[in-house]
Amino acid sequence: MIHLQNVSFNYQRQEVIQDLTLTFPIGQIIGIAGENGSGKSTLLKMIAGIQRPRKGTITIHKASLSRLNAVDVAYLPDMDLFYSFYTAKELFAFYASQFPDFSVEKAMEVAEYLEVNVNVKLKKLSKGNRGRAKMAATLGRNTPYYVMDEPFSGLDPIVRESLIKGLIRYTNVETQSIILSTHELHEVEPILDQLIVLKDGKVIAQDELEAIRFNTNQDAVSWMKNVTKEKVTVNE
């Protein structure tokens, strides 16, 4: 389990994450939603060990998180041009050289399932295929946690659909968790266990998806709109 205790992060004077306490158990797919600038990417980078909290602590399996034990987290960055000079096959070889838990075989299998040409340079691929290659590289790692920053962003519905199926197919809910940020809530909702809504660096709502539907008769999209509206402050 990953636990954040009173975590804050700021860029100079700008508070990005404010006093956040959150737990991510194993065995769930957890969505992080929120408007642009709500702190989603910063939160994910901290969980992945790429950025360190200015205040508070992050622990993974009860050990304090650092770049060293962040090996338990496979991170998918929100970047379209990503090792663009490599082919997917070369990208997998590079990942294998960096991460002992990386399986070229699994990455190739995911790439085949997602129908990515692994012999073309990433910069020559369409945006959708780059998204697929990135997903294959991430799922090629065998880690308890996958942290994915906007894995579906800017991709067409068919690509999104295939990535979502790839996530179900190539992760094991008994031993792994996925934490992903997304704007495509409607499509992602069926695969989520719980949803966390961020606003101005704070959690304004958090619930299990089935509980949201059961208790409020709303899907995640309308629920999120409502909780976000309620929290709009006077000075906005």
Partner 1 sequence: MVGEGGYEMTQDFTRDKPIYSQLVDLICGDILKGNLQPGGKMQSVREYSLEVGVNVNTVQRVYKELESMGLTDTKRGQGTFITTDKARISQLREDMKIELINQFLQSISAFGFSKEEIVQSLLRKDGTK
Which residues make up the interface to partner 1 (CB under 8 A)? 27-29, 115, 158, 161-162, 164-165, 168-169, 173, 190-193, 209-210, 213-214, 217-219, 221-222
Q: Which is nearer to partner 1, 217 or 235 (CB)?
A: 217
Q: Which is nearer to partner 1, 65 or 209 (CB)?
A: 209
* Minimum distance, C-beta of residue 22 to partner 1, in the bound complex (Å): 19
* Minimum distance, C-beta of residue 190 to partner 1, in the bound complex (Å): 5
Instruction: In whole angstroms, give the CA distance from residue 152 to residue 83.
Output: 18
Instruction: In whole angstroms, give the CA distance from residue 12 to residue 32.
Output: 24
* Minimum distance, C-beta of residue 61 to partner 1, in the bound complex (Å): 21
Q: Which is nearer to partner 1, 101 or 219 (CB)?
A: 219
Residues 6+ apart with CB under 8 A from 163: 114, 131, 132, 135, 151, 152, 155
* Minimum distance, C-beta of residue 136 to partner 1, in the bound complex (Å): 15
Question: Which two structure tokens, joined as six digits, stand for 32?
Answer: 């992080």
Q: Which is nearer to partner 1, 102 or 223 (CB)?
A: 223
* Inter-helix orientation angle 127-139/88-98, to 10°: 30
